[in-house]
A and B are shown apart, each in its own frame.
Chain A
Amino acid sequence: MKDIARDIGSRLLQGIIVLFVLITITFFLTRALPFSTFQDEKAVPDHVMEMLEEIHGHDKPLYTQYFMCLKNLATGNLGTSIKLMEGREVSEILSQAFPVSLVLGLVAMAFAISIGIPAGVLSAMRKNTRVDYIIMTFALLGICLPNFVIGPLLAELFGVQLSWLPVAGWGFTQPSTWILPAITLGLISAAYLSRLTRAGMLETLNQDFIRTARAKGQKESTIVIRHALRGGLIPSVAYLGPAFAATISGSVVVESIFQIPGIGGIFINAIQTKDETLIMGPVVLYGTLIITANFLVDLIQLWLNPRLRSHSKS
């Protein structure tokens, strides 16, 4: 037990160090952007510029600003936006945008899993048949076609031509607004999942215990579901974690195509306007999320696999 506690402690410490490094790099990279936060398309008079710098503490030395930033973050204060939505609490902005990104990511992953895994299984069961070829062709297409091509095509077809679904906007109570963006976002994961599942299933289906099960005369469906699926899904499950993180944080393009009020668009605009606090907010949020997720996965693996525990080395 002591060892496990030490393991957990060390992982936790690692997580905090990673977060600290992430914040530090973000802080200094942001400050290195070659323009001023307070500049405008129309020239800002010098006295206005100086006043703005003073208001937002930019007249202080860089290290002072850095320690201020660390201090605020340590107390859970993300600060207020200084440019893009000046005066608004960053936490208020994120609390509106994050649930959207999260729901979109979840629906996209649900779509990817419900399409990708059955397709992969089916493909493996019908290896080298027409079904297999068709599924794998679609999978390859899904991987190759970027979402900025798929998205507008889907929107044009289902939105403009058929008028089945809205082409832009978002409503938590209107699932019809989720469908096109979630499919666009989830398609690439679905494609990867089907290929990974197919490969995993094929490997498992060739193993001795499957042959034994078949020899015992079990039904094919029982063999696939009860015996093969567990082993066959291992590569897909390993892929799901990072894929999910990438899906909720990487929906910038899809947000733009379907006018989704998520975090991606805010993050990009914050960088383009050098809104330092509003850049730091999403970085800290996603950083914390991914570190926490990895920490939890580590814990689960420690629990599942005794060989990973440090005392087993000795």
Chain B
Amino acid sequence: MVSVTVLKSSSAIILIGSILLLASCKQKSMVERANEDKIMLVGNSAEPKGLDSQLISGVPESKVLTSLFEGLCGDHPSEDNTMVEGAAKSWEHNESLTEWTFHLQPDAKWSDGKPVTTEDFIFSYHRILNPQLAAAYAPMLHAIKNAKAYNEDQRGFILCGLDENFPVEWDKLSEINFQGDPKVDIDDLKNRDFEKLNLEEKRKLIAGRGLDRLDKTPLEAIAADESLFAWPDKISTDIRNLVLERLISHIDQGEPDLYDKAQVGIVAPDPHTLHISLREPVPYLPAMTRHTSWFPVPKHVVLKHGKMTDRFTEWSELGNIVGNGPFKLKAWRFNHYIEVERNPHYWDAENVELNGIRFFPILNFYTESRAFLAGQLHTAYSLPPELLEWAKENHPEYLRVEPYVGTRYIRFNTRRPGLDNLKVRKALSLALDREELCKYIFEGYKPATALTPKVGNYTPPDILEYDLDKAKALLVEAGYPNGEGLPRYKILTTKINPSVEAVQAAFKELGIGMDVELKTFGPYVSAQQAGDYDISMAGWIGDYPDPTTFLDMWTRGNGNNNTGWSSTEYEALLREAAQQSDPDKRVALLAKAEKILLDDAPIAPIAWYTRLYLHRPEVKGWHPLLLDNHPWKHITLEVEK
């Protein structure tokens, strides 16, 4: 007796089976078909927030953008420190490395056929620095003369300090509190009506904001009552009034753009020559121009879809976006893929091998590894570290293990009792057996001997060590034998994983038991920025191949420091290095600064990053690079027959 329902269910099974069979009839994998079409399939971790190079900050965005745009200098396919021509054909600089001239490619065109000129570059740098755009990566251009003042809207400096007709020099004026005192907490006063504040609150708000950030009402109030503002004694009443008058008249005029008055150090004598004046010698300027924040944006397209300062207008969307890179945008399906195709207008189009690239935002790295092994990707973004041993054994032909400019480290909140003691911090750092940690936990990573990995001509000092006895002795000296008397600290992290557990266990060796505090990424970041944590697991990826990308952040008041630590000696060395145009002397000064940082131990570096990923052998022209920016135009797909 065969019932109809049985038939029904078996027909369903047959249906599914036949679909499976049908699918299996497609002999060629996606990669094989893509090889024939010369299209590279790239795992790109996350969906780009957008493609306006001046507003994004993530790595996935930058991967797509480097195919669509090109900075003044280009990436070399295999050398980290060799610059090749990009949007600029050649460049030169003065002896002190402060004056640079870039000569643009004479035939360069945007992907819509319009010529790329210095007008676009000036517009681009003006735009990213414009305070109204609120571009998070604008500080990458602060080395340009007066760029920082313009970007931070330092009105006092621009309207008075830079004006040759102003009766008093800036040296003297700079003692006025234009920028606001970060130590004065005005969070609860900001949104209140100035008129309704009492005298003390008014003084506090004015001191906290500084003259540059005040509206007309408080400025007029200061003009009427000098006691509201702590004027330096040296500044006469006439000058005080003159300063206020300039600030108020700027507001009265509707706060016009100060770009011209700020005399930002970028000029173009002709459509293909760009002069950049810097505030200090920057030997790595050509390398910096390869960063997305230095990419040009097409003036004519940006202005067609909005004002210079409008954020994320339609100019950077599919159908509108125009670039100067080897590829142009072809398709964009959210969370699915982004596809780029050859840009026939690219100045070096004949040397571009690929017909296109498809970027897949696969956030789940296990899924990505499966997709790679199933022949759906040419290159994957990241291999989960626990699969390293498995991949070594089973797929050595795919596995790539390459150095990367990044460091995993522990951050100490030096404002916490106990952690304010240098000996305690040193003891904690000495308790970390970095060799063992890298061998078993941070698989593939290199044990850190300092914060900055080897980058450019900088060799990191060999400072960090593992010495449990010394650590215990330091604890005794500090008055906390075996950790007795220390409060119970929490280690802040975004993931409970073996690395945080290993660090916890290492500290336990000293007798210091700690808890782990788990937060999702947003609260994790804000807790550190607010100083509301004890110890945190942290990481930093360099933006450009120079030690300052790791060292500059530990200065006082820097938003990425978050340790409460600062050192005048350290900052003096960084400043001295910034003024030094001899490359060897410069890195020696930076190494000296790094030693101070590590001796004071507001942080305990653990390991230097390694890029672990799967990659198909038919991709040629892809070499290990410290910044991991592989120039797409040099890549070919060659299948060995």
Residues in B whose Cβ lies below 8 Å from that of A166? 30, 371, 374, 376
Choose among B6, B30, B370, B526 the residue that contacts A156 (Cβ–Cβ < 8 A): B370
CB distance from B492 to the nearest CB of A (A): 13
Are B4 and A85 closer than 8 Å at their CB atoms? no
Are B522 and A43 closer than 8 Å at their CB atoms? no
How far, in angstroms, from A160 to B394 measured CA to CA in the complex? 14
Choose among B9, B26, B47, B374 the residue that contacts A119 (Cβ–Cβ < 8 A): B9
7 of the cross-chain contacts (CB-CB < 8 Å) are: A36-B526, A41-B57, A47-B131, A97-B335, A168-B376, A256-B364, A259-B360
Choose among B5, B136, B376, B521 the residue that contacts A44 (Cβ–Cβ < 8 A): B136
CB distance from B352 to the nearest CB of A (A): 26
Are A168 and B525 closer than 8 Å at their CB atoms? no
Stretch of A2-10, A204-212, A265-273 with 4 or more beta carbons under 8 angstroms from chain B = A265-273
Interface residue B284 (Cβ < 8 Å from any Cβ of A): no
Chain A interfacial positions (CB closer than 8 Å to B): 33-36, 39-45, 47-48, 51-52, 55, 59, 61, 83-88, 93, 96-97, 114-115, 118-119, 121-122, 125, 152, 155-156, 158-160, 162-170, 175-176, 179, 220-221, 224-225, 256-259, 261-262, 265-266, 269, 272-274
Chain B interfacial positions (CB closer than 8 Å to A): 1, 3-6, 8-9, 12, 16, 19-24, 26, 29-30, 47, 49-50, 55, 57, 131-132, 134-136, 138-139, 152-153, 191, 213, 311-313, 333-337, 360, 362-364, 366-368, 370-371, 373-376, 520-523, 525-527, 529, 558-560, 562
New A-B pairs, 16, CB < 8 Å, besides A122-B3, A272-B521: A40-B525, A42-B560, A44-B559, A55-B311, A97-B334, A97-B335, A114-B9, A125-B5, A160-B374, A164-B21, A168-B368, A179-B19, A220-B3, A225-B5, A257-B366, A261-B336
CB distance from A194 to the nearest CB of B (A): 10
Are B5 and A179 closer than 8 Å at their CB atoms? no
Residues in A whose Cβ lies below 8 Å from that of B337? 169
Choose among B9, B520, B558 the residue that contacts A122 (Cβ–Cβ < 8 A): B9
With CB as the reference atom, state the residue of chain B lying closest to A83: B49
List the count of A-B residue pairs having beta carbons below 8 Å apart: 184
Are A176 and B23 closer than 8 Å at their CB atoms? yes
Are B334 and A39 closer than 8 Å at their CB atoms? no
Are A118 and B370 closer than 8 Å at their CB atoms? no
CB distance from B550 to the nearest CB of A (A): 13
Are B191 and A61 closer than 8 Å at their CB atoms? yes
Using known A-B contacts A41-B525, A167-B367, A265-B363, determine if residue A96 contacts B334 with beta carbons closer than 8 Å: yes
How far, in angstroms, from A34 to B528 measured CA to CA in the complex? 12
Choose among A42, A156, A164 the residue that contacts B24 (Cβ–Cβ < 8 A): A164
How far, in angstroms, from A12 to B344 measured CA to CA in the complex? 58
Residues in B whose Cβ lies below 8 Å from that of A44? 136, 559
Choose among A34, A85, A121, A259 the residue that contacts B371 (Cβ–Cβ < 8 A): A259
Are B360 and A43 closer than 8 Å at their CB atoms? no
How far, in angstroms, from A169 to B24 measured CA to CA in the complex? 17
Are A257 and B364 closer than 8 Å at their CB atoms? yes
Are A118 and B364 closer than 8 Å at their CB atoms? no
CB distance from A156 to the nearest CB of B (A): 7
How far, in angstroms, from A35 to B532 measured CA to CA in the complex? 12
Are B4 and A164 closer than 8 Å at their CB atoms? no
Residues in B whose Cβ lies below 8 Å from that of A45? 139, 152, 559
CB distance from A113 to the nearest CB of B (A): 10
Using known A-B contacts A35-B523, A85-B50, A87-B313, determine if residue A163 contacts B333 with beta carbons closer than 8 Å: no
Are B311 and A261 closer than 8 Å at their CB atoms? no
Residues in A whose Cβ lies below 8 Å from that of B527? 34
Using known A-B contacts A164-B24, A168-B371, determine if residue A221 contacts B3 with beta carbons closer than 8 Å: yes
CB distance from A89 to the nearest CB of B (A): 10
